[in-house]
Chains A and B, each alone.
Chain A
Amino acid sequence: MAVTGRKRRWLRRAFVSLVLFLAVCIAVFFALPRLLIAPMNAARSDVILHVAIDPHSKADDYVAHLYRQGMAGKIVCISSQVSWEVYPADYVREHVISLGAPAENVTTLHLPLVPCAGVAVPMIAEFVKARGWKSALLICQPEDSRYAGWMAGRIFEQAGIDLSVSYAPEDKEELMQAWWRTHWKVQRFVGKAMNIALDLFYSECR
């Protein structure tokens, strides 16, 4: 009887733990947008760093709009290659120029293929510092904004550069519409959360 009672107690504890674990997972899942997306913070800067390079993004228009408003005097489009000598940043540069930014003020930065953002951000900070810019406005994907603000902010601060982070409002609007029912949106939120979690285990990515 005593053994059965102990077994039952263990089973109950295991069941309660499982339910609690599932509840926490569900709560974290639905909190992902709040956890990952920071409020927009577009501050006047020396340069706009455009890393929100995605075929479905409205970030090009947003970057051109910020430039026209005088938020920065220069734009740098940044990407690594997607195929042999194919850097989307080059195409984005052309697009931003077609949206009204003068060609001499829009440049590109080609990054090597790296395992995580923690390796790429110091290269960007170095690029900005080498040109004597003291402040930068990073335009990224909405789900990257909080982590980019924290991680890139720290690295830029060490390089003596003020960094603010923003994203296209249309991108956030689109991303938030029924996100938990849309495969690519769930994939982006969960993928980002997984990547951040993985970064914490590797010193070069922290």
Chain B
Amino acid sequence: MSFLRQSKRAKKLLVAAVCLLLAYFLTPVLLNQPAHWLIREDQLARADVIVALGGDNRCNREKRAAELYRQGWANKVVVSGIQYAWGIHTAEAGKRYVVSLGVAESDVLMIRDTPNTRVEAMALEQLMRERGWRSAIIVTSAFHSRRAMYTVERAARDLTFHSSPVAPEAPEWQPDRWWSRRGDMFITAREFVSWTNTLVSGWQ
């Protein structure tokens, strides 16, 4: 101890070592926490419609929506998507998928040409008002769930929304140690950029 008191360099080295150790043990906690914050899951309640938001190449959102429909949480399912090219429409593909999973074709509606969550929220609000629906279960990927809910709730403050995201399990995005997987790293970083864009009402 007297050595430490006497030597400035030793003191600095000790402080640096402690800082490095703290950084080593705290960084995972500090990085995991914001990723967990991205997820919003509400208590499920019966609603007028289940909405599978677009943008999931794996179609796990549509799969979850069909599962909730079969469990009787709502009588209608809305799928969303965009006109891609060469006649491809991802909403139509989503519709075919939920029908193949047991949803009655007459119970499936589509929101078309929704390139991002804000446009999707506006289209959903319009559809819900047209149909006289007052509540919806929003199904999306876990990483997208809090931003999606923030966006739809702002678009229609008088309507009720419940979040029921796809489970964050492989091969889907997972919040724990997201930086250690290439795909999850990109998704997480992009989601925080998208949050910034949403909060400043930037590009649509």
Which candidate, B1-9, B105-113, B181-189, is the interface stretch facing chain A? B181-189
Chain A: how many interface residues by the 8 Å CB criterion?
25
Q: Could you tell me the distance between the alpha carbons of A199 and B182 in the complex, rounded to whole angstroms? A: 7
Whether the pair A91, B87 counts as a contact (CB closer than 8 A) is yes
Q: Does B120 contact A (CB under 8 A)?
A: no
Q: Does A26 contact B (CB under 8 A)?
A: no
Task: For B85, give its contact among A55, A83, A204 (CB under 8 Å).
Answer: A55
Contacts of B84 in A (CB 8 A): 55, 82, 86, 88
Chain B: how many interface residues by the 8 Å CB criterion?
22
Q: Does A193 contact B (CB under 8 A)?
A: no
Whether the pair B90, A82 counts as a contact (CB closer than 8 A) is yes
Q: Is the interface of A mostly helix, strand, loop or mixed?
A: mixed
Across chains A and B, the number of contacting residue pairs, with CB separation under 8 Å, is 63
Whether the pair B85, A91 counts as a contact (CB closer than 8 A) is yes
Residue of B nearest to A95 (CB): B86
Contacts of B90 in A (CB 8 A): 82-83, 86
Whether the pair B86, A113 counts as a contact (CB closer than 8 A) is no
Whether the pair B57, A83 counts as a contact (CB closer than 8 A) is yes
Q: Could you tell me the distance between the alpha carbons of A92 and B84 in the complex, rounded to whole angstroms? A: 12
Q: A83-B90, A83-B93, A202-B182 are in contact. List 6 more A-B contacts (CB 8 A).
A: A81-B57, A84-B94, A91-B87, A113-B57, A116-B183, A198-B185
Q: Which residues of A contact B (CB under 8 A)?
A: 54-55, 80-86, 88, 91-92, 94-95, 113, 115-116, 183, 195, 198-199, 201-202, 204-205
